[in-house]
Every structure is written in structure tokens, then in C-alpha cells.
Amino acid sequence: MQTSRDRDALLVLLSLASLTPRRLLDAARSHGSFERCLRAVRDGLVASPRDQEVARSADAGMVAGRLAASGARMAVVHDPEYPAALGDLFDPPAAIFIRGRDLRDLEPSVAMVGARNCSAGGREIATELARALGDAGISVVSGAARGIDAAAHRGALLGGAGTIAVLGSGIDVAYPRHHGRLLDDIGNAGAVVSEYPPGIGAEPFRFPARNRLVAALAAAIVVVEGAPGSGSMITADHALEIGRDVFAVPGSVSSELAAVPLALIREGAGLIRGPDDLLSDLGLCSPTREGKIDERPFPGATDRDIDVWAAVGSFARPDEVARSAGISLPEAMASLVVLELRGLIRAVGGRYERRSVQKR
């Protein structure tokens, strides 16, 4: 259990660029606590010389005061509010900062990302998809950038299920600056999240790191436009690495912005033409068969969904679920995503467990 000194020390440690998330957690384990880790940094044993100087002059109390003034809170790994899904990452953050609702209240969720310099059509489809997800009770996760990200957040706000903005800057730093009002709206209806403490500016190297959180906080990801080498592909790669389903809107084949979606579709991503495709692929608008409603975990559940639901039991890995249900691993993963989006199961450290089912 962390002491208040540990948490104050962590506020300083999280601002040191040379301490990557994995290196920070390893150093804290090696030294026994975040407080002792900070002492080691100040003694010149850990981190870069520049960060050692930053740590020596840092005032944790000032950072804590700025955090309180921002209206945000810090959730440290193993805290109840720290998302278990981040544990799927190779390098989960030691803590995240949250402004707004408890992230557990915004489950299940789907991520939506795409080009900053998007087309009018891309902006429109992102808004429509996000609104449809919101209407279906699914929150939308995105990166609060201009273009597709902003359209996804605005569409989700219209849908009413909530949205999560993941920042590549400190929790109190709006980037781009003109998104301050949008972030306030998101914080009121959903949540603004960052792994960076107050006062940390938006620097280019922080955005790829931000993208891994976008992927991890969602059960699936939708890519709407993206040029070669864009952050959309980075986010999709993170999603694939941790077993999230990936969907893509193809767009015009003559447009450079279709490069990433088309590449993903060639690699097996689900092709999305509009809200009906997305909701259908997520298992949210399948027709119900007569006579079997009461047997099914949700209306419209397929026989495969039922088999997977039965196979999950109390705590099972995807391969165990597939073996028990007598289906392939990709088929099991597809149904696990549907069940997670329905709020019937949740992923915990690479395994799945049932949630209690409430009849509606």
C-alpha cells in the first residue's frame, strides 16, 4: 500500500522523460517504494543526468496542488480505479490521472482514431459511428486530437453513453489549445485521462505512447482514415498486440487517407461502411431467434456466443475458452469481444471472468 509520501514521490517520477513506464515500475520494485526510487534518482543512481537535476529541484507539493486545482485525481497501479485492461500492455503506466467519471462506469468501450487532416466525409462517418455506439450504450475512446478524434468525441457526446479522451500531455494541458471547451464537455459527460502529471507539455514523443492507452482502454478499435506512417497505424498495431479486434472504414481508394484503413483490411481488419456494419460486427443488432431468448446471455446472441459465455466460467484464458467451446481461437476472441462490449464479461490480466448479469 502506498503512503502519501510514495504518491507525492510518484508525481515527480512521472514527470521524468528518461524513466519509461516499465523502467519506472522496475526501479520502484528494485528500491522498494516510489519514495526510495525518487531518492535514488536524486542521488544520481537512476534516470538521466538531466532528469536527476529536475528531480532534485522538483516540488511534489506544488505538483499535488496543481493536480487538486485541475479537478483530476491519480489512480496508481493496483488502486481500485486503475483500469485492469492496462495490464495487457508491455509497459503499463505506474499511474494515470483522471478528470471526470470513474472509468469503470464507462465500460464497455470502443476506440476510434484517424487522421488529423481528415476529409469532410471522414469527419461525418466518424461522428455517425460514434453517435451510433453511444446510442447502443457503448462509450468511445479517442485521443482528443483534431480531425477524426474530435469528431468521434463529439459524436459520442451526442449519443449519450460517454466518451474518454486520452491526452498526450499533462492532465491539465489542452492540446490543441482550442480543444479546452471540448475537453471540459468530455470531463463532464465522460472522462479525460493522461499518464502525465499536471504541467507536462504536449511533445511529439508522447503521442505514440498515448496511442497504446487508447488501444488498451477499449475492447475494439475503429480506424477512420489515416495516411502512411500516421498514428492511426501505431494505435492499430498496439491493439493487435494486445488482442483487441480492429475495424476500418475503407474510404476512397484514390485518397492517401485510405492507406491505413485499406492496409488493415488487407491484413484482416473488419470492413466498416457505416453504423449498421459496425453494430452488427460488434453483435449489437443481430436478429433474435424465437424460442431461445431466455437461454441467451443477451438478445440476439449467437450459438457461438452462448458456448463462449458458458466456457468463460469464473476465470479463463482465451485459448482455454476456445478449447472448451470447441472453436478456433479467432472465433473465441470475436465472441469474447461481443460479450465484453455487452458488459457480461471483463478482461483481467489476459484472462476473462464473468460479470453478474442483471435482467432488464
Q: What is the pTM of this model?
A: 0.80
Mind listing the pLDDT tens digit of every residue in the chain (360 residues)?
A: 578 899 999 999 999 999 999 999 999 999 999 999 999 999 999 999 999 999 999 998 899 999 999 999 999 999 999 999 999 999 999 999 999 999 999 999 999 999 999 999 999 999 999 999 999 899 999 999 999 999 999 999 999 889 999 999 999 999 999 999 999 999 999 999 999 999 999 998 899 999 999 999 999 999 999 998 889 999 999 999 999 999 999 887 778 999 999 999 999 999 998 888 888 888 775 333 333 333 567 766 787 888 888 888 767 888 888 888 888 888 888 888 888 888 888 887 778 888 754 433
Same domain, 176 and 228: yes
For residue 1, what pLDDT is reported?
A: 56
Same domain, 262 and 334: no
73 within some domain:
no
Domain count, the chain: 3
For residue 291, what pLDDT is reported?
A: 33
Residue 32 CB contacts under 8 Å (≥ 6 apart), including other chains: none
Domain end: 281, 303, 329, which one? 281
65 within some domain:
no
Per the structure block, which three cell numbers stand in for 19? 524513466
CA distances from 108 to 44, 162, 243, 264, 355 (A): 44, 10, 16, 23, 12
Residue 269 CB contacts under 8 Å (≥ 6 apart), including other chains: 223, 236, 246, 247, 248, 261
Same domain, 265 and 171: yes
CATH number at residue 298: 1.10.10.10
319 within some domain:
yes
Peptide bond into 176 cis (omega under 30): yes
For residue 101, what pLDDT is reported?
A: 97
Same domain, 184 and 303: no
78 within some domain:
no
153 within some domain:
yes
219 within some domain:
yes
Classify the phi-psi angles of 351: left when phi > 0, otherwise alpha if psi is within -120 to 50, otherwise beta: beta
- Which helix or strand (DSSP H or E) is residue 236 part of? helix 231-241
Range of the domain at 158: 103-281
66 within some domain:
no
DSSP notation for 86-102: GGGSSS--SEEEEEES-
Same domain, 277 and 298: no
